[in-house]
Structure 1
Amino acid sequence: MFAPQGPTLRELAVQALSSVEHGYDLLAPKFDLTPFRTPEVILASVAGVLDGLGPFGRGLDLCCGTGAGLGVLGKVCRDGVTGVDISAGMLAVAARAHPEATLLRADARALPLSDGFDLAVSFGAFGHFLPKERPNLFARTYAALRPGGRFAFPVVAPFRPGSPGHLALLGFDTAMRVRNALWRPPFVMYYRGFRLSDVRQELATVGFGVELYALEELGRRRDGSPRARLVVATKQGRGLARTDEAPPSTEEGSPN
């Protein structure tokens, strides 16, 4: 599961008992050696879809971590890329990997940017936000985009109830809730609260038009539906969400 040079069990335990910010500061030097980094197949598939929708001007990686998404933006954006993250440690690693990028330490829930970007992306970060925080997060992202700008992020189809994947996520979320009930500061990381039907409505309420694109490199399930989709939300006037394909199941699924 981890590379030999990856974090030890003790290091992971210390991170898990820290705040989100400090925990990632501690994990940052070894983060890319863990399975928590967004897999290359997802990054490449997202880049392929965005390449067909672009080109774009300025790009923003929201909760950029060590910079996996900055590489995607660099392929489709012509006028520079910016990464935002709350962890100084993660940004330090991103700076070494992407010296061409502008990096900003900030909380995405109080994003200090407006009307400057043509494309925003985010990979694997939404589990760090409680459902009640998402409308504000989406509103902040909307404000950071120029008219017609797009906000894109991948969503993996939910596991079937009772499947090993579903039980693993249920166990993880339960353990996190117990941890946060007994220990302070909290470490928010919940995988099962990111329902695509809810997210589409929240994006539409902010003023985004929403489209879904299958990430074909991730394959399809037995019923023919994609294993993963790219949500592409376009900044426009307020109205109902649009989609070019039927939505997936509204069962709880992972944001990663």
Structure 2
Amino acid sequence: MTDGSQDDALADAGYHDVPAEAGGRAARGWWDANAEEYLDEHGAFLGPADLLWCPEGLRESQARLLGDVRGSRVLEVGAGAAQGSRWLRTVAGADAVATDVSAGMLAAAARLDAAAGTRTPLVQADARALPFADASFDVVFTAFGALPFVPDTERVHREVARVLRPGGRWVFSVTHPLRWAFPDDPSEHGLTATRSYFDRRPYVETAADGRVLYAEYHRTVADHVADVVGAGLVLDGLVEPEWPAGHERVWGGWGPVRGARLPGTLIVRAHRPRT
């Protein structure tokens, strides 16, 4: 889970309270160190230019969760290698911009652009402090980006509300909160709850000196709804993709065994009111 250097060697992993500042800044270094490994493992499934919402395999070309974006100004936060923005620009006709906190992931995005002969606007930015003017985008989205890795998601939602134009849409996917009660195991062993759904301590990996190397944060369904509404946005709906028949790919704790019985992904759709 780390870059393999002695200083960053994983010494402990578990569910612990850590200082918010340390947990919130860990994502940048972790994704810088692990961008290539992540894309080596998942790049073929993600595709160089496609908007994949979740390990269940739901793609924007099927779901149309963003609506008709042709000619629209679209922002992706936590874009990784910008596969979603690249697809929106080259296939869906959107004027899309990709942001990510990780320079390593954005470097991978630039390599994908070079290989495909495309040009995707890439901006290094923390989703909690977006470097864009008020009301400058018609749509903002993220697929498993930014939100799981910060302790203060309300800041992300407020920033999204700020940069959205009135009537603009906000769509995000995250690990389904129910999953946090179960071991991260795609086999039958992952079907028995071992933690409280209401235990909001983050999953944390630390080095021997106590430094936080990785932090991922849990929120209940009610927490996600409260964050959206608290930012002044209107909730339009929740989507819980079912595991499709014949889909055998395992991705971490996602796979056909658990997918047949437990939801793996939550997708939230909201918009900024016009008045």
Q: Which of 234, 238, 246 in structure 1 is aligned with 2:271? A: 234
Structure 1 residue 162 displacement after superposition: 5.2
- Structure 2: runs of 5 or more not aligned: 12-24, 184-188, 245-258
Structure 1 residue 166 displacement after superposition: 7.2
Q: What TM-score, normalized to structure 1?
A: 0.69
Deviations 1:227-254 (A, max 9, x none): 544211111168xxxxxxxxxxxxxxxx
Q: What aligned pairs does 1:103-252 form with structure 2 within 5 A after superposition?
A: 103-114=122-133, 115-125=135-145, 126-130=147-151, 133-157=152-176, 158-159=178-179, 161=181, 164-165=189-190, 176-177=203-204, 179=206, 182-184=209-211, 186-191=212-217, 193-214=218-239, 216=241, 218-219=243-244, 222=261, 227-236=264-273
The residue matched to 1:159 in structure 2 has which SS?
A: helix
Distance in 2 of aligned mates of 1:135 and 1:102:
26
Pairing 1:34–2:36 present: no
Count of residues in correspondence between the two structures: 224
Structure 1 residue 86 displacement after superposition: 1.5
Distance in 2 of aligned mates of 1:32 and 1:60:
22
Distance in 2 of aligned mates of 1:14 and 1:120:
34
Distance in 2 of aligned mates of 1:21 and 1:144:
23
Q: What code does the residue aligned with 1:210 have?
A: L
Q: Would the aligned equivalents of 2:8 and 2:213 in 1 still touch at CA under 8 Å?
A: no
CA 1:110/1:55 → structure 2, altered by over 3 Å: closer, same or farther?
A: closer
Distance in 1 of aligned mates of 2:201 and 2:230:
30
CA 1:77/1:195 → structure 2, altered by over 3 Å: closer, same or farther?
A: farther
User: What's 1:243 paired with?
Assistant: none
Q: Would the aligned equivalents of 1:123 and 1:154 in 2 still touch at CA under 8 Å?
A: yes
Deviations 1:74-108 (A, max 9, x none): 37753421111111121111122234211111111
Distance in 2 of aligned mates of 1:139 and 1:155:
18
Q: What code does the residue aligned with 2:213 have?
A: F
Q: Which of 7, 10, 21 in structure 1 is aligned with 2:4? A: 10
CA 1:229/1:159 → structure 2, altered by over 3 Å: closer, same or farther?
A: closer
Q: Would the aligned equivalents of 2:205 and 2:213 in 1 still touch at CA under 8 Å?
A: no
User: What's 1:55 paired with?
Assistant: 69
Distance in 2 of aligned mates of 1:111 and 1:88:
16
The structure with higher relative contact order (CA 8 Å, sep 6+) is: 2
Q: Would the aligned equivalents of 1:82 and 1:102 in 2 still touch at CA under 8 Å?
A: yes
User: What's 1:45 paired with?
Assistant: 58
User: What's 2:250 paired with?
Assistant: none
User: What's 1:254 paired with?
Assistant: none
Structure 1 residue 128 displacement after superposition: 0.8
Distance in 2 of aligned mates of 1:101 and 1:11:
32
Structure 1 residue 168 displacement after superposition: 9.8
Structure 1 residue 221 displacement after superposition: 5.5
Q: What TM-score, normalized to structure 2?
A: 0.65
Q: What code does the residue aligned with 1:202 have?
A: D
Deviations 1:84-139 (A, max 9, x none): 11111211111222342111111111111132211111122322111xx1111110
Distance in 2 of aligned mates of 1:30 and 1:20:
15
User: What's 1:241 paired with?
Assistant: none
Structure 1 residue 152 displacement after superposition: 0.7
Q: Point out the more displaced range, 99-108 or 70-79.
A: 70-79
The residue matched to 1:110 in structure 2 has which SS?
A: coil
User: What's 1:3 paired with?
Assistant: none
The residue matched to 2:213 in structure 1 has which SS?
A: coil
